[in-house]
Amino acid sequence: MDTLDALFKEWSIGGICFRLLMATVAGVIIGMDREYKNKGAGVKTHALVSIGAAMAMILNEYVLRNYPASNTDLTRLGAQVISGIGFLGVGTIIVTGRNEVKGLTTAAGLWACAIIGLSAGIGFFEGTIIAQIFVIFVLRVLEPVDKHLRTQAKDFDLYVEFSDVQSIKAFLMDVRKKGVEITNFNVFKEKHGAAALAATMTMKVPHHGEKGKYISYLQTVEGISYVHEI
């Protein structure tokens, strides 16, 4: 470990190659998780982000070593990488015509990948490895926990498409009968698909664990053509 740490911090061709290799490995491993789940940003995108971030920190160190009188701020390029990665993150977040928001986890993963790349580029061996482990832990191990918490939640936001006004009235009556609370109810004309009207709302079921059953029930109700949690 001491030998690897020394190589990681060494200012030489070998040391620079090792830093870039570590950044590439981190990007590939994180990208494999996103690729496996068929997300927009996969192995190549994450690897390139990590390599680019690492190179920014290597360039910082190069300037500091070769132009010591320039009073270069070693954190400036890194800060620009952190703020600049936003353009990729925004590109992975999609809001569909049916108010579905997708890509938030991938965007956060890209941002974390850039930080890990900066860590590799400056030669922080321990931080690079530890951060990579934590990111993979969050993406892989915490996913079932996240899903469980979502299924057990009593409060949730819903997007529903209706065939006509009468269907909305019947829906509201049914909600009251089943003891489900509804707030923030907004109706608008649907521009996508065959439905005439759509609505977004916040709902609260009486007991934990009932959310999935209630959403499944709504999908079978006459006059409702589409139901999706947002």
- Tens of pLDDT, residues 46-91: 887 888 888 888 877 777 777 676 666 666 767 777 777 776 666 6
Mean pLDDT of all residues in the chain?
Answer: 80
pLDDT at 97: 58
**Boundary-marking domain end, from 150, 171, 199:** 150
The answer on 197 and 118 residing in a single domain is no
The answer on 161 and 47 residing in a single domain is no
Confidence of residue 112 (pLDDT cuts 50, 70, 90): confident
The answer on 222 and 130 residing in a single domain is no
What integer is the mean pLDDT of 146-163? 84
> How many CB atoms within 10 Å of residue 87?
8
The answer on 52 and 126 residing in a single domain is yes
The token duo for 160 is 């529903």
The answer on 94 and 51 residing in a single domain is yes
Whole-angstrom distance, CA of residue 43 vs CA of residue 49:
10
Whole-angstrom distance, CA of residue 202 vs CA of residue 223:
20
**On the CB side of 121, how many CA atoms lie within 13 Å of its CA?**
26
Confidence of residue 123 (pLDDT cuts 50, 70, 90): confident
**Boundary-marking domain end, from 150, 174, 207:** 150
The answer on 102 and 42 residing in a single domain is yes
Provide the 8-state DSSP code for 137: I
pLDDT at 114: 84
183-228, pLDDT tens digit by residue?
A: 889 998 876 655 678 898 989 998 888 888 999 999 999 889 889 8
79-97, pLDDT tens digit by residue?
A: 777 777 776 666 666 655 5
Contacts for 34 with CB less than 8 Å, ≥ 6 apart? 41, 42, 43, 46, 106, 109, 139
The answer on 129 and 18 residing in a single domain is yes
3-state DSSP assignment of residue 10 = coil
The answer on 158 and 136 residing in a single domain is no
Per the structure, the count of domains in the chain is: 2
Give the pTM: 0.62
Domain that holds residue 15: 2-150
The answer on 201 and 106 residing in a single domain is no
**Boundary-marking domain end, from 150, 178, 193:** 150
